Amino acid sequence: MAHVNPGKFAHPEMLGRMRRDLLLGWLAPAREYLAGRGLVLPAVADAAAVPCEALARVLLEPTPEMPPELLESLHVFHELDDEAGMEALRRAARQAGWALGDNPEATPLDVVMEAWLRDRQLVEEVHLRVELNRPRSFRYYSTLEEPPPPFHGPAPEQVAWLEQRLNRFYEAWKRGRGVRVFVYPQEGEWWFLVRHGAPCRREAVLEGDQPGTVFFRPQCHDVVVYNPQRGELRLNDCGERERRVLLRAFGRCLFGRADFFPSTAKYTLAPLVQRGRGALACGDVPGIERVTLKAVEFHYRRAPWRRELHEADDIFEQIEMGKIRWPGTLEEITQARFEVRLRRGKRPRRLAIVPCNKALYTRDADSHYLERFVAARGFARPAESGDRSNGDF
């Protein structure tokens, strides 16, 4: 059996909402296959006679000869069948120099199908961008190099290298080949959409009146974003093994070092939320007289995203007055800056913690005092053993 997805969207209700002339245009390349399955498409003049119930049965009971783009395109139609998808397609069409869906009565599905028939590649690119901006949970990893090296985007050969290396990993991990890496510059950052396979699945289907099975490999997307100003790579929350491989692959590909983005989650800002001012206690840390929280940065990633930087003489005072509120999740607290008074120091020292692996000090000579404080208050996690990556990454 071919590796095709039977398509949870292949049902008469969705097919019945398609404008019949567009439906016929979409099915035209598969006319011969459909005829072999007993479904003869009517002429355009008789478009209303398309048997949607019979068509849904054909899509739900795929054979090895079925053109894979039938089900793939149906999935794309479903993903873009809303107001946001419609407007994204119209913008893309205008940028390409042609109008799309000027009919005020056109539904989002009409617009998607019209665009597909005119420029399939444009629709696929818009779909990838929609997938790219879907709300996700990210983990952040910063390079330890200060300042971060300049980065102006990957060269085509670097993208090809990434695809080759990730193909080796996913194939060894029993996820199949076919990795593609798509690159998009967005608002000063570089977004990478990594498309790859997932573990195979087997679904029960009916072939005519007989039970059968369909074997297929689902498709997945991982998002990797690099911020060149901060030297920070963030990954959507995939599994630990996959995350380590992606960090090493992107570090080696873009900067020539597999360890450019340390994979250890060393630092956390959880004590600020969990213990309040108690997280700044320093009486048990020799050499430190007082610690004050001077700045916090919040990054709200769900659309419409925003980044907030709060600076004050005492951030906890602002929190106690209700002028600053902690975000809903720890992942949205992306940086904290402290002022540290040493017992014998004339000037205060600065300490910045950027989860999950960066701490910045004013002077390296002060690091032993500050590291003791960070460890004592729980900002530094205990070192984990066995944090090794897989393969040649």
Residues 33 and 116 in one domain: yes
b/e burial code for range 363-376 (CB count within 10 A of at least 16 → b): eeebeebbbbbbee
In a domain, residue 1? The reply is no
In a domain, residue 382? The reply is no
- pLDDT at res. 280: 97
Residues 250 and 287 in one domain: no
Q: Which of 221, 255, 289 is the last residue of a domain?
A: 255
Residues 26 and 128 in one domain: yes
Q: Which of 255, 280, 308 is the last residue of a domain?
A: 255
Q: What is the pLDDT along the chain (393 residues), one digit of tens a residue?
A: 334 444 444 445 677 788 888 998 999 999 999 999 988 888 765 656 777 778 877 877 777 788 878 877 888 888 888 888 888 899 999 999 988 867 778 888 999 999 999 999 999 889 888 877 665 567 778 888 888 999 999 999 999 999 999 999 999 998 889 899 999 888 789 999 898 988 887 777 666 677 777 677 878 888 898 999 988 888 876 778 898 999 999 999 999 999 999 877 778 999 999 999 999 999 999 899 999 999 999 988 777 788 899 999 999 999 999 999 999 888 889 999 999 999 877 789 899 998 877 777 766 556 778 888 998 999 987 654 334 333 343
Residues 49 and 156 in one domain: no
In a domain, residue 285? The reply is yes
In a domain, residue 264? The reply is no
In a domain, residue 154? The reply is yes
Q: What is the DSSP letter of 267?
A: B
Closest CA to 197 of 164, 173, 223, 165: 173
Residues 251 and 274 in one domain: no
Residue 301's alpha-carbon distances to 135, 139, 273, 360, in angstroms, are 7, 12, 19, 24
- pLDDT at res. 289: 93
The DSSP bridge partners found for residue 138 are 236
Residues 160 and 124 in one domain: no
In a domain, residue 280? The reply is yes
- Three-state SS string over 151-177 comes to CCCCCHHHHHHHHHHHHHHHHHCCCCC
Residues 198 and 183 in one domain: yes
Q: Which of 223, 255, 287 is the last residue of a domain?
A: 255
In a domain, residue 4? The reply is no
- pLDDT at res. 387: 41
Residues 283 and 314 in one domain: yes
- pLDDT at res. 47: 58
Closest CA to 60 of 76, 37, 80: 37
Closest CA to 287 of 250, 340, 328: 340
In a domain, residue 383? The reply is no
Residues 161 and 201 in one domain: yes
Residues 193 and 287 in one domain: no
| Total number of domains constituting the chain | 3
Find the DSSP H helices in 97-239.
Answer: 108-118, 120-132, 156-172
Residues 226 and 285 in one domain: no
Residue 343's alpha-carbon distances to 279, 284, 365, in angstroms, are 19, 13, 15
CA distance 74 to 310: 46
Residues 43 and 74 in one domain: yes
CA distance 164 to 51: 44
Q: What is the CA radius of gyration of the chain?
A: 27
- pLDDT at res. 205: 65
Domain range enclosing 325: 270-376
The answer to whether the pTM exceeds 0.85 is no
383-386 contact pairs (CB < 8 A, 24+): 383/264, 383/266, 384/264
